[in-house]
Structure formats: C-alpha cells, structure tokens
Amino acid sequence: MDITLQQVSYAYAKNTPFEKRALYDVDLHIPSGSYQAIIGHTGSGKSTVLQHLNALLKPTEGSIKIGDVEVKAEKKSKQLRKVRQKVGIVFQFPEHQLFDETVLKDIMFGPMNFGVSEEEAKRRAIDLVKLLGLPDEVLEKSPFDLSGGQMRRVAIAGVLAMNPEVLVLDEPTAGLDPRGRKEIMDLFYHLHKEKGLTTVLVTHSMEDAARYADRIAIMHDGKCVLAGTPQEIFSDEVRLMDYRLELPQSIKFQKKVEQMMEKKLPVLCLTEEM
C-alpha cells in the first residue's frame, strides 16, 4: 500500500491563540514494500508526520493518500477505520498502552475489536509471542509482571496482531540496551524482508537509517528538506551539516576506506571506531 503526502501543512490548535504550525508543504512518497526512515532533530515535525500516516491527524492544508483512501482537511471519510487497521503504529514506549489482565487478552484485544474471530485472534497471539522470542508461559501472565523488554515485545505483538500492511515505528528502541535494540530492529527488518511489510521508521539515529532503510527523508523545522536513497542522502555531507546532522559512523568508515584505496594506501588496520 503506497502512502503519498502532497503539500501537507499542519497547525496544532488552529484558529486559537495557541496555534502552532508544525508542518509546511511536506511532499513524501512511501512506496509499497519500502523501508522508509524519517530523520530529524526534536521538534522537526517527525511525530506530526507520523500521526498523518494513519489519519490520526488530518492535514490543515494539502492531502495524504493512504492506499486508495484520500485524507483531506474538510473531507469526511468513512474509510478511516479501514486505514487505521492497515497502518499499525508502534508509538514510543508502547508498553505504556498495555492494559489487559493477561498478555493473551491484551494481544487479542485489537483484532477482536475489528471483528476478527476469537479463535483467529488467539492463533495470532500465540504465533506472535513465538515470533517475538517470548516463552509461551507469558501468554497467561499479567503484562505488568514482565520485564521492560518483554513488555515492549508484547506491545509490538499487539500492533502486529492487526496484520497491518504498513508498520510505522516511532523510535521503537528508546530506552532499550544495545542488545535489545539490535534484536528488535533486526526483527522489524526480518518482517519487512520476509513479509514485504512496508516499514516507516521515525528516528534520530542516522546509524539505524543507514543500516535498515532503503529510503530516507530528512525533516527540519517542519519541512521535508531532503528525500532519497541512503546513497543520495549520504553523498552530501555538507548539506547534512546545514541541518546539524552527521554522517553515520559506518558510512564515514566506508568513505575512509574508499579514499585510502584511491590513494593505494593499505587499509588493513582501519577499524570502524576511527
């Protein structure tokens, strides 16, 4: 399912003394099956874009096309429920949204609320707990008796249980240790590759964008100032510096190796920390 933002502007608390413009004329095309990273500093507009991706927010001006549904400021659409089902969002610290008595019930809640049978919802919950590397026993436990990392996985399972076509991730590894971060990021990458799940990663980590994404968009002061493949984005270090962004360490390393090879210098002793 493609998502296309066309000239999207957004103002919070519009027509009040507290009006705050958060987005200005954002154009962004996220093709079906891609892994799109959205990067930018705090306050650049990433979360505001993210909330447009499943119509939690509607543009103040411009439009967004989510699959075949067009979302515009004035236009009422009965299809928003369908959109919300197809675009799953893993918000920051998603474990804060856990609420049910048991892990099983928590994961089943979303799909059952959207008309999936109890049997099917249960099957999805059991499969997802396995996929996320949790032991079967957690299904009957209270989510609040689990470790932080396990709670995060259960919350992610709850989003995946809706069988979304697009998965939007808002800093999904915030607060996790490096090992937990890598496990979760690798899992999302696996879902993207194996199931063709269109993935949108909102992050301030250039490194994660370089490692996983096939397209990168840079947000700055409410505008999408750069968009393209990682090669295109990372080829212009000077431009990135205009937006106070640094090349990821892995790309710096790669460039250093290329420079040394050009000069025919030995590269055997280089490490990525240089």
CB of 20 to ligand ADP, least distance (A): 4
H helix or E strand, kind and range, residue 168: strand 166-170
Residue 45 found at the interface with ligand ADP (CB under 6 A) = yes
Residue 48 found at the interface with ligand ADP (CB under 6 A) = yes
* 55/63 Cα distance (integer angstroms): 11
CB of 222 to ligand ADP, least distance (A): 6
Residue 170, exposed/middle/buried by CB under 10 A (0-12, 13-18, 19+)?
buried
Query: 84-143: which residues touch ligand ADP (CB under 6 A)?
Result: none
Among 15, 16, 42, 147, binds ligand ADP (CB under 6 A): 42
CB of 49 to ligand ADP, least distance (A): 7
> C-alpha 59: how far from its chain's center?
19
Residue 203 found at the interface with ligand ADP (CB under 6 A) = no
CB of 92 to ligand ADP, least distance (A): 9
User: Is the separation of the CB atoms in 218 and 224 below 8 Å?
Assistant: yes
Residue 16 found at the interface with ligand ADP (CB under 6 A) = no
User: Is the separation of the CB atoms in 234 and 210 below 8 Å?
Assistant: yes
Which residue, 50 or 161, has its beta carbon nearer to ligand ADP? 50
Distant-in-sequence contacts of 77-80, Cβ < 8 A, 24+ apart: 80/55
Beta strands 223-228; 215-220: pairing state:
antiparallel
CB of 134 to ligand ADP, least distance (A): 29
Instruction: Give the three-state DSSP class for 71.
Output: strand
Q: Which residue has the tokens 């436990």?
A: 141
Residue 62 found at the interface with ligand ADP (CB under 6 A) = no
Among 12, 114, 189, 253, binds ligand ADP (CB under 6 A): 12
Residue 44 found at the interface with ligand ADP (CB under 6 A) = yes
Site of interaction with ligand ADP (CB under 6 A): 12-13, 20, 22, 40, 42-48
